[in-house]
Amino acid sequence: MYDHHQKKDSRDPRVVKTNVKLRRALVQFLQYHTLKDLSVQKITAMAGVTRGTFYLHYSDKEDFVKQIQLGFLHHFFKQVVVYVDSLEALQAYPAFNVSLAFAFISEHATTFDVFLNREKTLTFNDQFHTCLVSYFEEYVRKSYDVSIPESSLPEKPVFDFYAGAFISLVANWLKDNMRYSSDYMAHIFESLLCADNHDVSKVQQFFTFDKNGLTHVY
C-alpha cells in the first residue's frame, strides 16, 4: 500500500533543495550511464553536495535511488490528485486529474523518460502503478454508496487495467518524443474511458470474447 504521507523533515526547504539537486543529478547520470555504474561519490559530486549530507538522508545507494523515486512520485501525485467533497459520499475522495498529470509529465519529461523507459533496473514503473492503484482503491472506498454490496464494487484487476493503461500510454508518448501535446494526450485517455465514443467502440471490436473461437478468413 502506497503511503500518501511523507516524513516530516522532507518538507524542510533545505532538504527539498538537496533532494532536487540529487534527483537532477541522478537523472542526468542515467541518461548516459547505467545504475550499476552509479556510486555515492559520483552522485554527490554531480549534485554538488557533500557525502556527509547524503548520508544524513540515505543509508546507501540503493536507499537513495528508492527514496528519490518515491519522493518524485509523491510530488507528482500531490500536484494532480484533488480531494472532492460530495453530498453523496461520507468523506472527501481522491480524483486523478489527467490533464494536470500530462502537463506535469510534459514539464518533467526527462525524469519520467529516464525512470520509465531508459533504466530498466529501476522499480519506478511498479511504484507508479502501486501509487495509482492505491488512490483508485481509496476513491472506491470513499466515493461509493455504503449501501452497495462489496461484491458489486470494482475488483483489483479493474484498477490494474486502468493504471497499467495510463502508465503505458505515458511511457510510449515519451518514447515517441511527445509528438502530441499534453492536452491532446489527456483527450485521448478521456476518449478511451468513454465507451460510447464511436472511434473507441470501433477499436473495441478488435477484442473478441467468443469462447468458441472465430472463423478464420484469409
* For the chain, domain boundaries: 8-194
DSSP 8-class letter at 8:
G
pLDDT for 85? 86
- 10-24, 31-45, 134-148 — which one is most confidently predicted on average? 31-45
SS3 196: coil
pLDDT at 200 exceeding the cut of 80: no
- Mean pLDDT over residues 163-182, rounded? 97
pLDDT band at 117 (very low <50, low <70, confident <90, very high): very high
Q: Give me the long-range contacts of 43-46 (CB less than 8 A, separation at least 24).
A: none
- Mean pLDDT over residues 198-213, rounded? 60
pLDDT band at 197 (very low <50, low <70, confident <90, very high): low
SS3 67: helix
pLDDT at 76 exceeding the cut of 80: yes
Q: What pairs with residue 96 in β-bridges?
A: 81
Q: What CATH homologous superfamily does 8-194 map to?
A: Tetracycline Repressor, domain 2 (1.10.357.10)
70, containing H or E segment: helix 61-80
Q: What's the predicted TM-score (pTM) here?
A: 0.85
pLDDT band at 6 (very low <50, low <70, confident <90, very high): very low
SS3 212: coil
Give buried/exposed letters for 69-101 (b at 16+ CB in 10 A, else e): bbbbbbbbbeebbeeeeeeebeeebbebebebb
CA–CA gap between residue 135 and residue 128 (Å, rounded)? 11
**CA dist 157 → 102, 122, 132, 137 (Å):** 24, 24, 13, 11
Looking up cell 537523472 gives 27
- Mean pLDDT over residues 52-75, rounded? 95
pLDDT for 9? 45
